Amino acid sequence: MVRSAPSSALTDHTTKQLADLRVITHNIRYATETPFKGEELWPIRRPKLCSQLVFNSIAIPTTFICLQEVLHLQLVDILESLNASSPQKEWECIGVGRDDGKQAGEYSPIFYRRTIWKLLEWKTVWLSETPTKPSKGWDAASIRIVTIGIFMHIHSGEHVLVMSTHFDDQGAKSRQESAKLILATIKSETETHKFSTVVLAGDFNSPPGDGAYQTMTGSQSNMVDTSTLVPEDQHYGNVLTFTSFGYVDNDPSRIDFIFLRKGDGVLCRTFAVLANRFDDGVYLSDHRAVVIDLQLGG
């Protein structure tokens, strides 16, 4: 399912070259009506989570925000919050609900500023044997997707490929095959387009010892885990990205990642795993956000 970009007014910006880029990825936990012990309902989590996204994107115009487990009502809330902090109401997003390719089920959307990026093309790929239509793949317990966007930096003309995904939590074969499918998709896209960099972000439900992570970072892959590009003593925040809500499924792990294409000459300047709970004790999500800052041409 390939979609062309909608037309929109482009406003001027003082940045003339694409030099710095921030990427945020966060599984925000879908808006359940039957929360786990320790979990608050979305109306309580919403302002806290949205404020974190605004705070961590407001100063860097080139930010991409890649989210997972987003229901349509949450998509609307987040877009509204981002634009409330933007006088030009410049934030837009791409993505579809995984269940029907429209608004049903979870999205893995990508948010971006239309004044900075021109969306050239985007599509959703289902992580299954039938990737062009809503479908469950291999041994997966749920339908899984990757959202793919091709963006042009308006003032420099440079192109970037950005992807947001969410792998299955139960099917090990599904995770590994999903990794292979995404790598093949990247190969296909990079054979037909020239990108300054390629970014893949999401919840992979695959710790470093799992087959999917090993496929993503193995010798046959052209992608690299950004956490390995910054010395550990320069990492900010936490290490583990899944925390649970403190009671159910309480096995913290590192399963949320941002990958970059090898050999792009991109300097990964920072790597951070943000907190998801503060003095009030409310978990924003059962995952922590991962954030990187890149310098292109580094």
pLDDT score, position 298:
53
Q: What is the dihedral of CA 171, 147, 164, 170, to 10 degrees?
A: -10
Q: Find the mean pLDDT for residues 133-146.
A: 98
CATH fold of 18-295 reads Deoxyribonuclease I; Chain A (3.60.10)
Instruction: Assess whether pLDDT exceeds 70 at residue 1.
Output: no
- In this predicted model, what pLDDT tens digit does every residue of 34-48 receive, in sequence order? 999 999 999 999 999
Domain positions in the chain:
18-295
What are 240-277's pLDDT values in tens digits?
999 999 999 999 999 999 999 999 999 999 999 999 99
Task: Tell which residue, 201, 199, 204, has the closest CA to residue 260.
Answer: 199
- Could you identify the residue written with the tokens 């990508």? 110
The phi and psi torsions of 200 (rounded to 5 degrees) equal -125, 120
Once rounded to an integer, what is the mean pLDDT over residues 175-188? 98
Q: State the average pLDDT over residues 188-196.
A: 95
The pLDDT score that the predictor gives to residue 4 is 52
- Is the pLDDT at 63 greater than 80, yes or no? yes
Categorize the per-residue pLDDT at 6 as very low, low, confident or very high, splitting at 50, 70 and 90: low
